[in-house]
Amino acid sequence: MSEASDEQRVVDLVEQLLADHPPKGSAPKDFLGAQFDAGLAWVHFTEGHGGLGLSPKLQRTINERLAAERAPVAMARNPIGHGMGAPTIVTHGSDAQKARYLRPLFTGEEVWCQMFSEPGAGSDVASLATTAVLDGDEWTVNGQKVWTTLAHLARWGMLIARTDPDAPKHRGMTYFVVDMHSPGVEVRPLRQMTGEAEFNEVFFTDARIPDVERLGEVGDGWHVALTTLMNERVSIGGGIPPREGGVIREALDVWRGLPEPTADQVAERAVQKDELTRLWIDAEVLRLTNIRASQMRSVGTPGPEGSVGKSLAADHNKKVLDFTVSLMGAEGMLYTSYEMVRPEATMSWDCPQKAFLRMRANSIEGGTTEVMKNILGERVLGLPGDVRTDKGVPWREVPRN
Ligand SMILES: Cc1cc2nc3c(=O)[nH]c(=O)nc-3n(C[C@H](O)[C@H](O)[C@H](O)COP(=O)(O)OP(=O)(O)OC[C@H]3O[C@@H](n4cnc5c(N)ncnc54)[C@H](O)[C@@H]3O)c2cc1C
């Protein structure tokens, strides 16, 4: 079929969805369930798995029309499941796993978390030490994960664990789906500088995972993890807000609310306007770059463009919010509450001051900016690789802290 007729088909299906399930009168999970069943969840996934096997470009058409009707947004309810879990399951999962997990993940009935980082393994996540040992048709897991976003809400977790300590680090890992409610899985809150605890520590003590919950082959966990990681970068840095949406809106709102400058403020205001204009242009360039990247992307693992977008977005968000709180003067230092809460969403903010604090983490979460630059240098610019002293060395023999 031609691109135009695919688009018409999608447009018709969206209108049918809206007619049958008006967003105002429908429970979010029912609306999202109907969206999934219509193949409008991830339009590039295959039929029966929330898609129609069409070009990913068409997802934007769907999302924009649904946003105009204020329909519920799956990503907001389950960001890690939606942005990272689903592409990993669809690429590496069995048919039974796709049938079991994708729909409740999309509706937000089952929240997902990602358990990669450990106290001794962050940027170098392949050095991780949590172990999984096969015992009959189950694996026994022991170890600790850290910075696990939304683990306190999660029904399922994506886990990579060491299954062969004698293999070099990238080859001795296996990837699993973990039932976060199973015995031996303990979740404890970790507080961040906004006062909230979006993330957690997760401890595994003889937790059991059925072998059917493995994603990919034994020892091939790194390959599966790359699908998650590359999608994570897109998920964090690849957002496509409407023009003047996202963090630049915070700056514009504050700017538009400023009182007329006094005579001695006029020169300073002109400089600030110049700065705001530059930031506005950067926001628009980033938005257009992300639109282009999303149109080039197909199902599965995005390329290094996700890392480029992620590091640019991290830097941009910080600059915009630095500027915004400085525009606010002394009010920029005020903050409503540091009470510890375990939120239901990630990266949410209700005031520029909170956004300022939260976005500091953008250059760490999902891989640091330095690591993104390494990927950019090696995979885009073709520069020599980072120094790797443990290449080919069995994991067991690599010194660790
Ligand atoms: C808000 C937030 C949410 C998170 N959520 C999750 C989650 O849900 N699941 C999960 O598994 N993890 C999560 N993380 C963890 C995140 O992925 C790690 O923090 C990140 O990968 C960095 O690891 P690290 O903190 O151990 O820092 P380290 O790896 O110890 O890095 C320390 C410093 O060294 C630099 N560095 C390290 N290696 C290199 C290198 N090769 N070249 C140049 N510089 C280098 C880093 O850039 C950094 O500045 C989250 C983190 C944050 C902040």
Does 114 contact ligand 1 (Cβ within 6 A)? yes
Which residue, judged by its Cα, is nearest atom 16 of ligand 1?
365
- E strands, 128-215, are 131-135, 138-145, 156-162, 173-179, 185-190, 199-210, 214-215
Quickly state the pLDDT bin for 297 (edges 50, 70, 90): low
Q: Half-sphere exposure (CA, 13 Å, Cβ side) for 123?
A: 11
**Ligand 1 centre distance from Cα of residue 368 (Å):** 5
* Per-residue pLDDT reduced to its tens digit, 18-54: 999 999 999 999 999 999 999 999 999 999 999 999 9
User: What's the pTM?
Assistant: 0.93
Q: Are 88 and 215 contacting, i.e. CB atoms less than 8 angstroms apart? A: yes
Answer yes or no: are the C-beta atoms of 81 and 105 closer than 8 Å. yes
pLDDT digits (tens, 9 = 90+) for 177-213: 999 999 999 999 999 999 999 999 999 999 999 999 9
pLDDT at 29: 96
Q: For position 169, what pLDDT does the model report?
A: 95
Cβ neighbourhood burial of 1 (10 Å; 0-12, 13-18, 19+): exposed
pLDDT in tens, 118-140: 999 999 999 999 999 999 999 99
Ligand 1 close to Cβ of residue 386 (< 6 A): yes
Cα 186 from Cα 276, distance rounded (Å): 46
By percentage, how much of the chain surpasses pLDDT 90?
79
Which residue shows structure tokens 């941009």? 316
Q: Is 346 in the pocket of ligand 1 (CB under 6 A)?
A: no
- Site to substitute for ligand 1 among 112, 115, 117, 315, most atoms within 8 A of C-beta: 117
Q: What is the pLDDT of residue 204?
A: 98
Angle at 144 between CA 80 and CA 196, to 5 degrees: 50
CB atoms inside a 10 Å sphere around CB 392: 9
Measured distance CA(37)–CA(21) in Å, rounded: 12
Ligand 1 and 200: CB distance under 6 A: no
C-alpha 84/C-alpha 300 separation (Å) is 10
Residue identifier of the C-alpha nearest atom 12 of ligand 1: 117
